[in-house]
Amino acid sequence: MRFSRRELRDLAVAWLALGVAFTFFLNNGLAQGLLYGRLPVAEATRTFVLSLLTVGVGFLLHELAHKVVAIRFGQVAEFRADYSMLALAIFAGLAGFLFAAPGAVYHGGRPISDRQNGLIALAGPVTNVVLIAVFLPLVFAGGLLGSVGVLGVGINALLAGFNMIPFGPLDGRKVLAWSKPVFALSFVVCAGLAAVVVFVLFV
């Protein structure tokens, strides 16, 4: 699997921008400190690293999973960051809102079937489900590792559930166009995990 210079740049910018956006969203006091010139550097650094290790990894591995499967089906596939959406995500984080649309993997080449297109789409949410299992043991570690586990499980559950909505450019619509039974099973699993994790960890 190859990455162009532009793609590597876009991946790095998206990862860092998401880290900044969620740093402010997760700790609104940082935005107020920045406004008054009293930014607590240690706290900001800790939250930034936490965001990179959880939110950034969840989003970018989701997109790279699309790329891997698309290439497997003979497509040319590259990630492209959406710089306007990344800027909006940072401003939303400063304002205390949750919003992130870092970009997407675009693929093309020879014609592919609905099944192949559906599998490319499904790869993203499935990756987030796998990441839930990776982050889950850390939830019980306590300290920074515990925080990484809680946020990692939470954000990946939300990503899996949200992306399976069969609307617009989201993955669920492509999976539904391929197979209603596969969509139904995938939606129940992803949306169910999102609901359970949000209720257990955040309610």
Q: What is the pLDDT of residues 106-130, one digit of tens each?
A: 998 888 999 999 999 999 999 999 9
Residue 71, pLDDT > 90, answer yes
Residue 46: pLDDT band with limits 50, 70, 90: confident
Summarize the confidence of residues 69-87 as an average pLDDT. Answer: 94
Q: Mark whether 171 and 193 lie in a shared domain.
A: yes
Please tell me the predicted confidence (pLDDT) of residue 54. Answer: 92
Percent of the chain with pLDDT strictly greater than 70: 92
The tens digit of pLDDT for each residue in 164-187 reads 999 888 899 999 999 999 999 999
Q: Mark whether 134 and 203 lie in a shared domain.
A: yes
Residue 39: pLDDT band with limits 50, 70, 90: low
Q: Mark whether 63 and 134 lie in a shared domain.
A: no
What are the φ/ψ torsions at residue 105 (nearest 5 degrees)? -90, 125
Residue 202: pLDDT band with limits 50, 70, 90: low
Residue 93: pLDDT band with limits 50, 70, 90: confident
Q: Mark whether 91 and 148 lie in a shared domain.
A: no
Where a domain ends, among 62, 81, 112? Answer: 112
Please tell me the predicted confidence (pLDDT) of residue 26. Answer: 80
Could you tell me if 103 and 117 are in contact, meaning their C-beta atoms sit under 8 angstroms apart? no
- Secondary structure string (H, E, C) spanning the chain: CCCCHHHHHHHHHHHHHHHHHHHHHHCHHHHHHHHCCCCCHHHHHHHHHHHHHHHHHHHHHHHHHHHHHHHHCCEEEEEEECHHHHHHHHHHHHCCCCCCCCEEEEEEECCCCHHHHHHHHHHHHHHHHHHHHHHHHHHHCCHHHHHHHHHHHHHHHHHHHHHCCCCCCCHHHHHHHHCHHHHHHHHHHHHHHHHHHHHHHHC
Q: Mark whether 148 and 161 lie in a shared domain.
A: yes
Q: Mark whether 120 and 91 lie in a shared domain.
A: no
Where a domain ends, among 61, 85, 112? Answer: 112
Q: Mark whether 173 and 81 lie in a shared domain.
A: no
174 lies in which domain range? 113-203
Residues marked as catalytic: 63
Residue 201: pLDDT band with limits 50, 70, 90: low
* CA within 13 Å, CB half, 10: 21
Q: Mark whether 96 and 184 lie in a shared domain.
A: no
Please tell me the predicted confidence (pLDDT) of residue 34. Answer: 59
Where a domain ends, among 42, 77, 112? Answer: 112
